[in-house]
Structure 1
Amino acid sequence: MKTTIVISYFEVDDDGATLLGQETHEDISSALLPGQHHARVFFVKEFAGLSHRRWEVLHVTCLGPQGAEPARFQVYLYRIFSQTQEVYFKQSKQQPGAQRYLRKGTLVEVDYGHVPSLATEQGTRREVDGYNDTRQHGEMHKRRLAVVVNMTPNAVQVVPATSVFPQNGGKTFFEIDPGTLARLSFYGSSKKQSWVICSMIETVSFARILPPESLYTERGVKKSGRSVQYPVALSSRETKLLDDALLHSVGVTDYAATKARVANLYPQLRRVEALEAQVVALRLQTQVHTELEEEFRVLREVAEALANRAGLRLEQEIKEHMEIKELLAANHQAS
């Protein structure tokens, strides 16, 4: 077998560059390299004897194959020093009550990963076209601030934030209030604006979620760091903006107007319900009247039959009875 590609990794510090390790590829025509973009690139690599795993990529050099020699690539790394411990949600979720910390509107950081590049056996670098199992250009990448939309038993739905104003986002994004960002140590001190891009909602693993550095109070003591209780969340106003932007991202553009129309219909609905109650009452009254009329008809027939047997005229008897009743009433009033 022929050695075709060798990738060497160096740590850069004040004393120069120290070889950390290297990968040798035999009969492989291309291999993954850390990508290089306009933004800073971070990637994870474990080296024997080192506990450090997350590195910043400073630059990558390419040396084409010389005769029978393989193509050589040198990756220069910088060790990232963090004053706060990084605990991913996959590690902390086992703690009692941890699941309730990630709720709608909670601010988190997400390690989306980076878009790699390809080292070729010719000693060149190219895009990762065809390597569809990796992050691609146009997809969200790097570690960034995000907002929780929903949580499932095994994953979290999030929408990412960016400091670059979304030019073509329409109503599918909104700005995080500076007061909310001020509660985050890094993002608040950067003085940069942050916009949440709701059109890029994504389901990510617990292994990608970690708390952002924030200013918080624990047992009455003010602290700064990564609290596994995820204390910073959107305000109620921002949560409404989140809902509106999510609706626009799925094409529901008239939800607010429809909701207002429905709200205006409630008083009319209550009036209709009141009228329906009146109709029911009138129907009951009509039924009672009908029953009384039937009873009256039966009594009249009985009275006419009795009057005929006695040789009397029912109508005449009724008239005389009413006249006597009126006369008695008049005399009662006069006295």
Structure 2
Amino acid sequence: MQTIIIRYLESVVDGEGKISHVLVGAESYEGIKEALIPAMPRPKPGKVPHPVFLTKCFADIDHHVWRLENVTAELTDGQPPAVYHVYIKRHDISKEEFLYQTLKKNPATTISKLLRQGTLVEVDYGFVQQTARSTAELKTNKRYMDTLLDAEMHKRRLAVVVKVISKNLIQVAPITSQSAADGDRTIFKLEQDTLDKMPRYKHSGKDSHVICSMLESVSIQRVLPPTSYFKNTTGRNPNYGVALSRGEIRTLKESLVHAVGASDYVPFNEVVLERKSVQERDASIVQLNEQLAAAQAKVDELMAIERMAKRWTEEMGRNFAEEVEFQHDLDREDGLK
């Protein structure tokens, strides 16, 4: 007996702007009490819900990425099967090139040449699903540990590369518009100059915060470059040219130390800065000693001149103090003092 039917309907706009829904495919379950289907996001108060995308390949349609628009459910005469309608719209991915595709196209290019610590990327984490029950109820997928669960990192979002682990795997810290709690040193805010390199984030009107407490290793098949300004235009630069500033990288390292609970240890960059400060002080001391030696040599020379002047004054039968005062008077007349 059929228990669940899932119908996928594409939203199509005609020349007059009218929207119709065309059935593009269906899934039928027999003897199954619940099945996983896409879930509409639950927006937070005052927030716009984020878009949800799904991958689905239908016969005779050369397209596989769709934007979710709505999900409805009903029972026929109050009896199974439960019929679910999933409304979808085509999403253009013609200008998107994921990291694995870039590396495949350019065998001479390695992942380490494209990415380093601090490089900004976008990561397709995927989306939290829900369960469609034979009773036409929509429930959470909390028992399906083989899928993304609520509260886990999800959707496509900006992220910072922390480490290149292998040719197929990188470690990233995700970025969110949510501000950090007071005293949370595992999160830091990106500089506006960094956001200005990417039109979407430059004009969003939102701050962006790096969440070092949610480090994750992701496949390069989830990674693509963010839309940025390059070659006098905007687009996804396959050379991954957007990165944190040096100051932000120092802050990233400090936040990573706090994220792993090692805040009792002095961060390496602080050791480097202290060492540099000591070297600068040592160089200053050397310079001051050289200046002191030069001044001492000048004093020794003047003292020798003074002794010679006293000897000459004595030999000429004159008073040294009076001769010095006479010279001061001459200097004042000549405007030397």
Q: TM-score, normalised by structure 2?
A: 0.73
The 5 A counterparts of 1:36-47 are 36-37=40-41, 38=43, 39=49, 40-47=51-58
Q: Give the letter for the 1:234 counterpart.
A: L
Change (3 A) 1:43 1:199: same
Q: Name 2:33's counterpart in structure 1.
A: 29
Task: Name the larger-Rg structure.
Answer: 1
Q: Distance in 2 between matches of 1:260 and 1:163?
A: 28
| SS of corresponding position for 2:158 | strand
How many Å apart are 1:256 and its aligned residue? 3.6
**Count of residue correspondences:** 263
Answer whether contact 1:64 1:124 (CA < 8 A) is retained.
no
* Among candidates 77, 99, 119, match of residue 106 of structure 1: 119
Q: Name 2:227's counterpart in structure 1.
A: 213
How many Å apart are 1:80 and its aligned residue? 2.1
Q: Give the letter for the 2:55 counterpart.
A: V
Q: Name 1:4's counterpart in structure 2.
A: 3
How big is each residue's C-alpha offset from its partner over 1:127-158, in whole Å with a ceiling of 9 and x where there is no partner? Answer: 00210000011110000000000012220100
| SS of corresponding position for 1:70 | strand
Q: Distance in 2 between matches of 1:257 and 1:17?
A: 58
Q: Name 2:284's counterpart in structure 1.
A: none
How many Å apart are 1:91 and its aligned residue? 1.2
Answer whether contact 2:188 2:252 (CA < 8 A) is retained.
yes
Q: TM-score, normalised by structure 1?
A: 0.73
| SS of corresponding position for 1:241 | helix
Q: Give the letter for the 2:7 counterpart.
A: S
| SS of corresponding position for 2:197 | coil
How many Å apart are 1:223 and its aligned residue? 2.5
Consecutive unaligned residues of structure 1, counting only runs of 5 or more, are 268-335
Q: Give the letter for the 1:107 counterpart.
A: L
Answer whether contact 2:122 2:157 (CA < 8 A) is retained.
yes
Q: Give the letter for the 1:19 counterpart.
A: L
Q: Name 2:177's counterpart in structure 1.
A: 163
* Among candidates 243, 251, 256, match of residue 246 of structure 1: 256
Q: Distance in 1 between matches of 2:202 and 2:191?
A: 10
How big is each residue's C-alpha offset from its partner over 1:259-279, in whole Å with a ceiling of 9 and x where there is no partner? Answer: 757957x97xxxxxxxxxxxx
Q: Name 1:225's counterpart in structure 2.
A: 235
How big is each residue's C-alpha offset from its partner over 1:6-61, in whole Å with a ceiling of 9 and x where there is no partner? Answer: 00011113331111111111111110110122232222112122222222211100
Q: Give the letter for the 1:233 counterpart.
A: A
| SS of corresponding position for 2:263 | coil
| SS of corresponding position for 1:93 | helix
Q: Distance in 1 between matches of 2:160 and 2:32?
A: 41
How big is each residue's C-alpha offset from its partner over 1:70-96, in whole Å with a ceiling of 9 and x where there is no partner? Answer: 1000011122235x6111111112312
Q: Distance in 2 between matches of 1:167 and 1:12?
A: 41
The 5 A counterparts of 1:273-292 are none
Q: Distance in 2 between matches of 1:188 and 1:212?
A: 12
The 5 A counterparts of 1:304-319 are none
- Asked if 1:123 is matched to 2:123, the reply is no
| SS of corresponding position for 2:217 | strand
| SS of corresponding position for 1:199 | helix
Q: Distance in 1 between matches of 2:267 and 2:143?
A: 45
Q: Name 1:54's counterpart in structure 2.
A: 65
Q: Distance in 1 between matches of 2:199 and 2:60?
A: 32
The 5 A counterparts of 1:59-78 are 59-66=70-77, 69-78=80-89
Q: Distance in 2 between matches of 1:77 and 1:235?
A: 40
Change (3 A) 1:9 1:34: same
How big is each residue's C-alpha offset from its partner over 1:251-302, in whole Å with a ceiling of 9 and x where there is no partner? Answer: 11133478757957x97xxxxxxxxxxxxxxxxxxxxxxxxxxxxxxxxxxx
How many Å apart are 1:176 and its aligned residue? 1.1
Change (3 A) 1:113 1:65: same
Change (3 A) 1:259 1:143: closer
Q: Give the letter for the 1:138 counterpart.
A: A
Q: Distance in 1 between matches of 2:241 and 2:84?
A: 43
Q: Distance in 2 between matches of 1:228 and 1:214?
A: 10
Answer whether contact 2:7 2:23 (CA < 8 A) is retained.
yes
Answer whether contact 2:80 2:135 (CA < 8 A) is retained.
no
**Once the two structures are aligned, what percentage of the paired residues are identical?**
39
Answer whether contact 2:4 2:29 (CA < 8 A) is retained.
yes
Answer whether contact 1:65 1:122 (CA < 8 A) is retained.
no
Q: Distance in 1 between matches of 2:267 and 2:142?
A: 44
Q: Distance in 1 between matches of 2:83 and 2:66?
A: 21
| SS of corresponding position for 1:90 | helix
Answer whether contact 2:53 2:68 (CA < 8 A) is retained.
yes
How many Å apart are 1:226 and its aligned residue? 0.8
Q: Give the letter for the 2:228 counterpart.
A: S
Change (3 A) 1:155 1:27: same
